[in-house]
C-alpha cells in the first residue's frame, strides 16, 4: 500500500488562551462589581455605560464558552486521528529523515536528487558525530536506494543502532543540488504529540504523517 502526500495536523488546544480569557473574565467581573459598589449615589453610572460594560462582559463569557467547545472538538479530532493511525502498527514506513537504524548488520536509506549530479556523496555518522563511512551515490535525477552493510571505512563491523547520514550532490561546476533523504522502519505504536497523530518508529523516534513517503506491508521491509 502506497501513501503519497498523506498528512493531517491539528493545532494546539489553546488552553493558555482559555486561561487568559478566564482571568480577564474574572478581573472584569471584580472591577464591575467594585465600580457598582463604590459609585456615587448622587451621580450613578449612566445606563448606556452600564449596558456597554454588560455587553463586554457577555462577550468575554461567550469567548470562554467557545474556546471550551473548540477544545472538545480538537480532542475528538485527535482521538479520530489516533484511531486511524492504529491501523499502521506493524507496517513499514518510509519517511523524511536523516537517521537510519542499523539492524542485524544492514540498513536501507533512500534519497532523491532534484537534478542530475556530477558527484553524489553519502556520509554515515555515528552518535559521537564521527563520519564512519563515506560512499559515492547515484547521480541521476531520481529516487535512489543505498543498502549499508554495517561496515566502516576500514571494513570493520559496526554495532547495531541508530546512525545519522547525509547526502550531498554537486554539479560539474560544484554547485549544490537539492536532495531529499529518507529512512525506512517499522511502525511500533502511535501517540498524540501536541495534538498531532505521530507514528512511533521504535529507536528512530516519532514521525508525523506529513513526513511520510509510503506505508507498506511489513514483508516489504528490507
| Contact yes or no for 132/158 (Cβ under 8 A) | yes
Give residue 221's region: left, alpha or beta (phi > 0; psi -120 to 50): beta
pTM of the model: 0.60
| Contact yes or no for 154/131 (Cβ under 8 A) | no
- Give the chain's length: 222
Give residue 13's region: left, alpha or beta (phi > 0; psi -120 to 50): alpha
Residue with cell 506529513: 210
| Contact yes or no for 116/139 (Cβ under 8 A) | yes
Q: Per the structure block, which three cell numbers stand in for 165?
A: 547520514
| Contact yes or no for 216/92 (Cβ under 8 A) | yes
pLDDT of the chain, 222 residues: tens digit per residue: 333 333 333 334 445 555 665 566 667 667 667 766 666 565 655 556 656 666 666 666 666 666 665 655 555 555 666 667 788 889 999 999 999 999 999 999 899 999 999 999 999 999 999 999 999 999 999 999 999 999 999 999 999 999 999 999 999 999 999 999 999 889 998 888 877 888 999 899 999 888 998 888 875 444
| Contact yes or no for 150/167 (Cβ under 8 A) | no
Whole-number Å distance between alpha carbons of 153 and 124: 10
Whole-number Å distance between alpha carbons of 187 and 215: 9
| Contact yes or no for 198/206 (Cβ under 8 A) | yes
Beta strand 107-113 with 143-148 is antiparallel
Amino acid at each position: 500500500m502506497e501513501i503519497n502526500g498523506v498528512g493531517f495536523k491539528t493545532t494546539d488546544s489553546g488552553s493558555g488562551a482559555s486561561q487568559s480569557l478566564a482571568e480577564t473574565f474574572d478581573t472584569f467581573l471584580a472591577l464591575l462589581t467594585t465600580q457598582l459598589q463604590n459609585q456615587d449615589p448622587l451621580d450613578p453610572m449612566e445606563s448606556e455605560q452600564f449596558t456597554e460594560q454588560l455587553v463586554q462582559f457577555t462577550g468575554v463569557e461567550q469567548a470562554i464558552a467557545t474556546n471550551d467547545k473548540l477544545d472538545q472538538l480538537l480532542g475528538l479530532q485527535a482521538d479520530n486521528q489516533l484511531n486511524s493511525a492504529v491501523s499502521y502498527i506493524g507496517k513499514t514506513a518510509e519517511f523524511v529523515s536523516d537517521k537510519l537504524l542499523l539492524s542485524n548488520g544492514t540498513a536501507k536509506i533512500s534519497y532523491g536528487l532534484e537534478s542530475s549530479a556530477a558527484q553524489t556523496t553519502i556520509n554515515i555518522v555515528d552518535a559521537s558525530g564521527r563520519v564512519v563511512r563515506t560512499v559515492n551515490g547515484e547521480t541521476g535525477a531520481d529516487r535512489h536506494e543505498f543498502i549499508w552493510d554495517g561496515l566502516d571505512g576500514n571494513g570493520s563491523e559496526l554495532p547495531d543502532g541508530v546512525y545519522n547520514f547525509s547526502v550531498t550532490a554537486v554539479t560539474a561546476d560544484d554547485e549544490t543540488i537539492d536532495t531529499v533523504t529518507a529512512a525506512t522502519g517499522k511502525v511500533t505504536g502511535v501517540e498524540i504529540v501536541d495534538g498531532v497523530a505521530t507514528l512511533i518508529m521504535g529507536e528512530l523516534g516519532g514521525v508525523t504523517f506529513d513526513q511520510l513517503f509510503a506505508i507498506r506491508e511489513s514483508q516489504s521491509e528490507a
